[in-house]
């Protein structure tokens, strides 16, 4: 039996190596998450183009290997145990501001930005600001990438990415076809979308429609938002951002704080003393300790307020 298992491992290793020659083995995932928590991935592949991203998905399907799409690792808690499948690291990072094709504006810059799923939100914000395009100032300090931001409809300070999305390019794992979703078909809502509900839809790229803005005003707003984050969020520690979405009409952080849980520690994981909807990695926190804190937060809020907190983070 032991020999049979060993032979199967060898066969699988040869198959994935044949399908994806640049695949890596036994890669620590804690280095690829903002929480700095997680075990090893048996296989790891960096997809640096749209084509290689799709090829990796197809390859994993052909050899019946479980796979997970990893962006910049924010809003994610990775298990301490080994992930026995393939991690596909989304690193397609092309972006551009297309030139207008209309006769009256030909050759002039327009207000649209094309960006692939692996582009960091910070980079997209910088590009928009450089070109006097307003609408993304709220994204300052958010560590995620475009793909994850679309999936979770990222937002802050009363704005969301969906406010400016014109269309999203998606790869459907099931039929292996590319499809363009217009904004109205994306089912965007608070921290949610069709792409979060349907795991077979993988965001490949998007087109944003922004507005012309005043650079000085934009930079002022960016600084204001950045300063707010520094004052109200535990930026000096590794975290996954907000653990829970806010229940309608309530602040998850305030509910947790009113339960007396601010500063509560399990192992090296701690509910932040600054913002109770954050769990921080004090040093070498384990995923199991973070999960215990999450369950405690949910339990206490349910007991005290009768409200069920729903995770904003994703589990692997």
pLDDT at res. 102: 55
Report the alpha-carbon angle 205-207-213, nearest 5. Answer: 135
Tokens 């997680």, located at residue: 38
Residue 225 belongs to some domain of the structure: no
Under 8 Å between Cβ of 53 and 171: yes
Q: Running DSSP on this structure, what letter comes out for residue 13? A: H
pLDDT at res. 87: 98
- Do 134 and 147 share a domain, yes or no? yes
Instruction: Give the domain CATH number at 20.
Output: 3.30.43.10
- Do 155 and 110 share a domain, yes or no? yes
- Do 65 and 100 share a domain, yes or no? no
Domain of residue 65 covers: 2-90
Pairwise CA distance, residues 182 & 147, whole Å: 15
Residue spans of the chain under pLDDT 50: 103-104
Boundary residue ending a domain (24, 55, 90): 90
For 104-151, the DSSP string reads TTTTSB-SEEEEETTSBHHHHHHHHHHTTEES-GGGTT---BHHHHHH
- Do 260 and 299 share a domain, yes or no? yes
Instruction: Give the domain CATH number at 247.
Output: 3.90.78.10
> 30-47: string of b/e by CB count within 10 Å (b at 16+)?
bebbbbbbbbbbbbbbbb
pLDDT at res. 103: 44
Closest CA to 125 of 221, 4, 190: 221
Tokens 């087109």, located at residue: 207
Tokens 């640049």, located at residue: 22
Closest CA to 16 of 48, 49, 41, 50: 41
pLDDT at res. 101: 61
Would you state the structure tokens that stand for residue 201, as one six-digit string? 């839809």
pLDDT digits (tens, 9 = 90+) for 172-230: 999 999 999 999 999 999 999 999 999 999 999 999 999 999 999 999 999 999 999 99
pLDDT at res. 10: 67
Instruction: Give the domain CATH number at 194.
Output: 3.30.465.10
Neighbour count for residue 117 (Cβ, 10 Å): 29
Question: So which residues are the catalytic ones?
Answer: 191, 242, 312
pLDDT at res. 98: 78
- Do 68 and 100 share a domain, yes or no? no
pLDDT at res. 170: 98
Neighbour count for residue 248 (Cβ, 10 Å): 7
Boundary residue ending a domain (74, 90, 106): 90
Please give the distance of CA 287 from its chain centroid, rounded to a whole number: 18
Please give the distance of CA 141 from its chain centroid, rounded to a whole number: 13
Q: How many domains does the chain have?
A: 3
Residue 8 phi, psi dihedral angles, 5° rounding: -65, -40
Would you state the structure tokens that stand for residue 156, as one six-digit string? 């802050």
pLDDT at res. 110: 84
- Do 209 and 106 share a domain, yes or no? yes
Residue 16 belongs to some domain of the structure: yes
- Do 46 and 13 share a domain, yes or no? yes
């Amino acid at each position: 039996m032991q020999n049979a298992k060993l032979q199967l491992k060898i066969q699988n290793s040869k198959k994935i190596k044949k399908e994806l020659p640049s695949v890596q083995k036994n890669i620590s995932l804690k280095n690829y998450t903002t929480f700095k928590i997680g075990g090893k991935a048996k296989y790891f592949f960096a997809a640096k183009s749209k084509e290689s991203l799709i090829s990796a998905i197809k390859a994993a399907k052909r050899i019946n290997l479980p796979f997970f799409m990893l962006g910049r690792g924010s809003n994610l808690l990775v298990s301490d145990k080994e992930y026995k499948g393939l991690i596909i690291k989304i690193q397609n990072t092309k972006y551009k501001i297309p030139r207008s094709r209309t006769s009256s504006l030909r050759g002039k810059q327009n207000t649209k930005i094309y960006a692939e799923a692996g582009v960091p939100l910070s980079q997209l914000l910088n590009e928009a600001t450089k070109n006097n395009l307003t609408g993304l100032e709220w994204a300052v300090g958010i560590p995620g990438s475009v793909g994850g931001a679309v999936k979770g409809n990222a937002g802050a300070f009363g704005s969301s990415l969906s406010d400016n999305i014109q269309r999203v390019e998606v790869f459907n794992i099931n039929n292996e076809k590319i499809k363009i979703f217009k904004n109205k078909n994306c089912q965007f809502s608070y921290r949610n979308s069709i792409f979060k509900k349907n795991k077979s839809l993988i965001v490949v790229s998007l087109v944003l429609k922004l507005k012309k803005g005043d650079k000085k005003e934009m930079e002022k707003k960016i600084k204001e938002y950045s300063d707010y984050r520094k004052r109200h969020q535990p930026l000096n520690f590794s975290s996954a951002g907000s653990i829970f979405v806010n229940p309608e009409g309530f602040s998850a952080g305030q509910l947790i704080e009113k339960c007396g849980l601010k500063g509560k520690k399990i192992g090296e994981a701690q509910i932040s003393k600054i913002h109770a909807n954050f769990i921080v990695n004090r040093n070498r926190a384990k995923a199991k300790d973070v999960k215990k804190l999450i369950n405690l937060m949910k339990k206490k809020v349910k007991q005290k307020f009768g409200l069920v907190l729903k995770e904003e983070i994703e589990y692997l």
